[in-house]
Amino acid sequence: MNTILHPILEVHHLNKSYKDFALQDVSFSLPEGCITGFIGANGAGKTTTLHTLLGLTGADSGEIRFFGMDMREQAEEIKNRIGVVLDSNCFYEGLTLNQMKNIIAPAYSRWCEEDYQRYLRTFSLNPKQTIKTLSKGMRVKYALTLALSHKAEFLIMDEPTSGLDPLIRSQVLGILADYMENGGRGVFFSTHITSDLDKIADTLILIDDGKILFQEEKDVLLDSYRIVKGDVCWLTADTRPLFINVSETAFGFTALTRQAARVQAMMPEAVMERPHIEDIMLGVIGENVPAKERR
């Protein structure tokens, strides 16, 4: 089996400062064939990073490569091969779906009208309807339709499922899974809805306060942490340092740990469970807080 995975997106030492926020030394590398979730709290830098990747704003320093090509030199060619889903309000409201499509389609050399019609049908969208009258869920589906109708090899999306009801979210995630099975080479989407990532992500990148805290395979991440529940009296000076994000009540404590084996040894009766992505996210961000306060 060919196990060499060429990175489909590489970011090296990206820096971008604003007045009261800065992306600092952001680096990551997305292997091909993966759905990557870009997670972080609101204001952590997800959208800024995405905007910088897409060329909407210039980086102060750093390198961005898609499919091995430098964004500074081959932006048009890269953009031709990626599908973009931004905010659902990035259309001319007064236009119909078809009119908006007729503006977007000629930009792409591999626009496929059959794909467009097919997605319209799949999503039950009426092409003659005015964009203004679409609900949020329909707008996201329309944005996906446009992004998927030009044989894009890579999808970049900014919080595509936020504000959507669980049914539509599930539909969107299903479309992403289909996309990967049918020729898609990668998906990169930012979100703060971690339950979506539990279902569909292959790799995760966590950003907080403009810095990348980790990039990891989802399952490796879930394997390396455990949720520990036990009696508060087991938390001693020796055991406390093993935990992150301890929450104590009158009935016991719950905490996250990276050192499951040691915890097991020192508290053999503690209950150990696999965490969810949210637990890890909260734990790692919580660890990062002292660093922020030091600034």
Interface with other proteins (CB under 8 A): 1-3, 31, 33-35, 47-48, 51-52, 54-58, 76-77, 79-80, 84, 86-87, 89-95, 99, 102-104, 106-109, 177, 180-181, 198-203, 217-220, 222-223, 260, 272-274
Closest CB to other proteins among residues 90, 289: 90
For the chain, helix (H) and strand (E) counts, in that order, are: 10, 14
Nearer to other proteins by Cβ, of 1 and 250: the residue is 1
- In the complex, what is the shortest distance from the CB of residue 103 to other proteins, in angstroms, rounded to a whole number? 5
The candidate with the shortest Cα–Cα distance to 120, out of 100, 93, 94, 90, is 100
Sign of the torsion angle spanned by Cα atoms 172, 227, 31, 29: positive
| 58/268 with CB nearer other proteins | 58
Residue (130 or 288) nearer to other proteins, CB: 130
The CB-of-250 to other proteins minimum distance in angstroms stands at 25
In angstroms, the CA 244 to CA 213 distance is 15
User: How far is C-alpha 97 from the geometric centre of its chain's CA atoms?
Assistant: 27
Query: 156, 247, 207: which is closest to 27 by C-alpha?
Result: 207
Residue 72 beta carbon to other proteins: minimum distance, rounded to whole angstroms: 13
Nearer to other proteins, 74 or 288 (CB): 74
User: In DSSP terms, which residues pair with 83 in a beta bridge?
Assistant: 155
In whole angstroms, the minimum distance from the beta carbon of 289 to other proteins comes to 26
Shortest distance, position 290 Cβ to other proteins, whole Å: 29
Whole-angstrom distance, CA of residue 216 vs CA of residue 11 = 15
96 secondary structure, DSSP code: B
Contact (Cβ atoms closer than 8 angstroms) between residue 57 and residue 86: no
